[in-house]
Amino acid sequence: MSVGLLFDSTKCIGCGGCTAACKEQNNLPLPIEPVTTAYTWTIVEKRDGAFVRRLCMHCLEPTCVSVCPVGALQKSASGGVVYDAGKCIGCRYCIMACPFGVPKYQWDRAIPVVGKCVLCPDRVKAGLATACATVCPTGATLFGDRDALAREARARIDAEPAKYVDHVYGLEEAGGTSVLMLSGVPFERLGMKTDVPRQPLPLLTWQILSKVPDFVILAGAFLFGLHWITHRRDEVRQAEEDER
């Protein structure tokens, strides 16, 4: 089962409970900053009269995971994109690669690492909901099986089409994300990126990288062939000279 979150912007009152619980769960230092940072992994922003959460979308096929040269970022079996600060070398490639601009860097530290929502792996492993979903007083953030949440999101839109934008954000963005969002105003007005490609972004590089082994074998065979031919010519020439 792959878990995820469903955030319904129409239910959010902007109380910031999710932010506070996240700080507590992940032992992140105060204060609560107005934007996401390496120490504030989720915030609630007011845009266009509606509240929207900023957090890692937990892509089904995460770009950050595909680009991390040391495997510090991994997509866990349960659904979250988890991060091992012990492996991180601080290259910041994940920050550049993320289509949603999620990972943040500890710019204030001499040996910085990256900070981002990791979908509470310890709580999920213990069978609990994420901290943010646990404390949400309006049910705006729901935790559960990603497929069930996708069905719930669609059902909410179908039940009240006038209330919602007819789009479940995260169902297809970047090939699908574990965090899904519903809104009553267009998502671009909530500051959500709507030009994110629909296919998984690691595919872009995978199309090239997957051909590297073939290329190496073919190029190797070709070069060996060239070498064999020129070497054979030299041998023949040498043999002919010896005969004379």
Partner 1 sequence: MRHSPDQHSPGEGASSDPVSPRRTTRVRRNILLNFVCVVACAVAAALGIGAGAATLRLPPDIAYDRSPDSPGPVIFSHVNHVALAPSTEGECTGCHPEPFKMLKPSRHVTHDEMNAGKLCGTCHDGKTASGVQDDCEHCHKARSQSGYSARTGGTP
Query: Least distance to partner 1 from the beta carbon of 103, Å?
Result: 23
Q: Would you say 24 or 147 has its CB closer to partner 1?
A: 24
Query: Least distance to partner 1 from the beta carbon of 29, Å?
Result: 10
Q: Would you say 23 or 54 has its CB closer to partner 1?
A: 23
Q: Would you say 13 or 218 has its CB closer to partner 1?
A: 13
Query: Least distance to partner 1 from the beta carbon of 109, Å?
Result: 22
Query: Least distance to partner 1 from the beta carbon of 16, Å?
Result: 4
Q: Would you say 30 or 35 has its CB closer to partner 1?
A: 30
Query: Least distance to partner 1 from the beta carbon of 119, Å?
Result: 15
Q: Would you say 29 or 213 has its CB closer to partner 1?
A: 29
- Give me the residues that bind partner 1 (CB under 8 A), please: 13-17, 19-21, 23-25, 30, 32, 131, 134-139
3-state secondary structure the chain: CCEEEEEEHHHCCCCCHHHHHHHHHCCCCCCCCCCCCCCCCCEEEEECCEEEEECCCCECCCHHHHHCCCCCEEECCCCCEEECCCCCCCCCHHHHHCCCCCCEECCCCCCCCEECCCCCHHHHHCCCCCHHHHHCCCCCEEEEEHHHHHHHHHHHHHHCCCCCCCCCECCCHHHCECEEEECCCCHHHHCCCCCCCCCCCHHHHHHHHCCHHHHHHHHHHHHHHHHHHHHHHHHHHHHHHHHC
